[in-house]
Structure 1
């Protein structure tokens, strides 16, 4: 078996203000129709994923929510993990045509400029339910705005948003003014500047094995 260099993991007793796990994200290697990076390598590495969740839960301190709404598809990963950490339920908000029950539907324009439809089961919750919305990445805000509309149609209240990163633009600034928005990428940080430019300096040294899970028998 080939030996790969291990990812350096910060001491658990020390601070993680550098959000070290962000350097595990992979650049797009497949062309313009895909997102400019792939954060899923954070999920593969146990230490990275748990530190991301620790940071998000800490930044959500004081937020009252009854359910986490995860946006199809990668928001399912982050959203369900956060729901488990917070001890509340998880509501999948899906691309159209996937649910076999009555649904509400909304059209939105995604980051690539394509118009898509998204659905939520009907009814999904009682009026007044407080919802934390989770997605992997918030770029143009089209998907998130669709999810907000679906929640509010059923009398729910969006109390917060969570993501690996929320880029800074007019739409996302509006979100920040109305909701508690938390992300692995902290506003004002160097990571935020690089995300806004849609290029991470860590891409230069990125290699896939940086995210490989640590074998428990080593």
Structure 2
């Protein structure tokens, strides 16, 4: 997985001083790294009964769509509030300063569907936590969460596992 990690660009002081932004867009443009990342994200779930993949806006749409394709299952976008037409379900979550919310269409998930959550990065886990709660409210059995990058010092993967959801990442970076 070293070449996947090497394909991820780090941008210092973005979006604010002290933050080391881990940019997967450089991995996405590298066909070998992109393919290897999707294969590695799918591998633990090959043969498992997954009904849908849910991807968190926005890079989770790219990765989740590819994972859903490889698993031959449907895809559900988990969007920021106000981006979906029609009736939605919403889950709010705390940010450093204020709150935000994610939504899915009310008819996106059928009762008891087994769902795999996908995103590019797990940091504090706030958005993934909200997405899992939202999917569960819709009736989903969230069987796992998979990410390209884990920032273990921020505790997000432990937060997701505390919800009873196995959490997997391809690479990790120390610090925030």
Gaps of 5+ in 2: none
Could you tell me how far apart the structure 1 residues matched to 2:74 and 2:34 are? Answer: 20
Q: Provide the rounded CA distance (Å) in 1 between the counterparts of 2:110 and 2:43.
A: 27
Q: 1:113 to 1:87 in 2, by over 3 A?
A: farther
What CA deviation, in whole Å up to 9, does each residue of 1:162-209 have, x standing for no partner?
A: 111123254422423622322211xxxxxx3xx1324xxxxxxxxxxx
How far 1:116 moved relative to its partner? 1.3
- Give the structure with the larger strand fraction: 2
Per the TM alignment, residue 114 of structure 1 is displaced from its structure 2 partner at its CA by: 5.0
TM-superposed CA distance for 1:35, in Å, is 6.1
Quote the Cα distance in structure 2 between the aligned partners of 1:197 and 1:118: 26
CA distance in 1, matches of 2:132, 2:14: 30
Partner of 2:86: helix, strand, or coil?
coil
CA apart distance, 1:129: 0.7
Post-superposition offset of 1:32: 4.0
| RCO higher in structure (CA 8 A, sep ≥6) | 1
TM-score of the superposed pair, with normalisation by structure 2:
0.87
CA root-mean-square deviation: 2.0
CA-CA distance at 1:108 after TM superposition: 1.5
1:89 pairs with one of 63, 68, 74: 74
Instruction: Assess, with a 3 A threshold, how the Cα gap between structure 1 residues 172 and 113 changes in structure 2: closer, same or farther.
Output: farther
Deviation at 1:41, TM superposition (A): 0.8
